[in-house]
Structure 1
Amino acid sequence: MKIMCLNGWGGKLQEHLIPYVHDTSPDVLCLQEVVHTPTSHKDWLTYRDGEHILPQRANFFRDVSEALPDCIATFCPAAQGVLWDGDRQIPSQWRLATFTRKRFPIIGQIQRFVHKSFEPNGYGEHPRSRSAHAIRVFDFEKDRPVSIVHMHGLRDLNGKMDTPERVAQAHRLLALAQAVMEENDPLVVCGDFNVEPDSETFDILKKLGLTDLVTSRGFTDTRTSHYQKPGRFADYMLVNTSVEVVSFQVIEQPEVSDHRPLMLEI
């Protein structure tokens, strides 16, 4: 089973990301920063937050779904705000999606918030709402279930240091994993956590026997050349002792986002 975790950056590098996802064809894709604009047929819209202006692939969720036709696609919104078509406001939803190959039946799943709750009237004040998604699938080849959980951790404008909100977020993520898995399940927890490797988040997740593959295997960078700020860690993939790791990679090329894909084979 191949599991990929990626922050898709709103599809900004869609022309590279879509072929890469299609060709790599993971069995489970945990994708963050996903745009879903069901009322628009535009290819591109614009996100505006003060001086922070980004092109957004208006129907990024649809684009990835079409690239993975053999997968069940689940979109998990955290908020509905607006994107811009020139001077026109377009309602658009935002956050996570999980794509699961159909031969791995989903036998359990939970969608919850790890910070705040659904924002129906705008993206909200920083730090904004953050959702997480957990699935339990059955692997017929190995004759066992596998539990997979991902989130996009809250973004604090002051940095990636530990805060009471981030500690609470980690406890909610832990509870979500405990709720979806059963005893002896292989467990994978991943995402763009928006914390440093010394964060208390990892001490909390160790209660489930989880070890991070990024830092424990010597990787020092999960960002691409499109990210110019200091602090090169953002994305993590943790496994428990029931996971037999065949291979793990932090993909440097091609660059499909300002984050690097994490690819795990179990």
Structure 2
Amino acid sequence: MTPFLHIERAGGIVTVRMNHPDTRNALTTPGQIQEFVDLCAALRRDKSARVMVLTGNGSAFCAGGNVKDMHERAGIFAGSPYALRDTYRDGIQRIPLALYELDIPVIAAVNGPAIGAGLDLACMCDIRLASTSAVFAESFVRLGIVPGDGGAWLLPRIIGVPRASLMSFTGDTINAVKALEWGLVEQVCTHQTLMAEARSLAERIASNSGHALRLCKRLLREGQHMRLDSLLELSAAYQSLAHHTEDHQEAVSAFVEKRTPDYLDR
């Protein structure tokens, strides 16, 4: 079978395309889940990677779970309640843990519908851009189920509890304009310019020090569940590390000399 993730590399920018357009990039097989986990593990080891762009091939970003398998109680939806619980814990729930905790910034270029687990996948990314053809739905309730992959934690932190509640309780779909108004996405582009805009943003991010990017992202993550005094203590520790990198010295020298810095991730 064709790998689910098609991976391209240009310098420090890693572009990842979900590549099962025939299923609208539905995310349900153990193999697909393992590809995401393996990719995140590889990127954590690769200190030359600075930013990742995630998008979908075809008409959809990700259509979520395979409803046909749900109907037939097949694939990852087979088994007893206890077996299903373990299937979620040992399966799709590994993606938010791997992707959300990835050290480098992740941009979601939402090219089309992001439904159910597809919306939650976009929410695992740090920044979301959307094409005008993108639509979003936290649609689990429409199938008589609940967000099983972290959406109940992710979505309220992005758009607030009242709006996340509205989307979760109704299962209604919102378009890209509404998503922009609600802060779910940062920018809406035409379908033709989406990837160019995502790459432009990725280039701006990747022009910075890889060390600084990783430490900054970790602070943002930790700050979501720490007290201010605890975060300040962690910030001081991270800052002391950053001050002793060669990249910091290069950044300061380049600023003083009015030139573009040449970072070596050291």
TM-score normalised over the length of structure 2: 0.28
Q: Looking at both structures, which has the greater relative contact order when contacts are Cα pairs under 8 Å and sequence separation is at least 6?
A: 1
Larger proportion of strand: 1
TM-score normalised over the length of structure 1: 0.28
Name which one, 1 or 2, has greater alpha-carbon Rg: 2
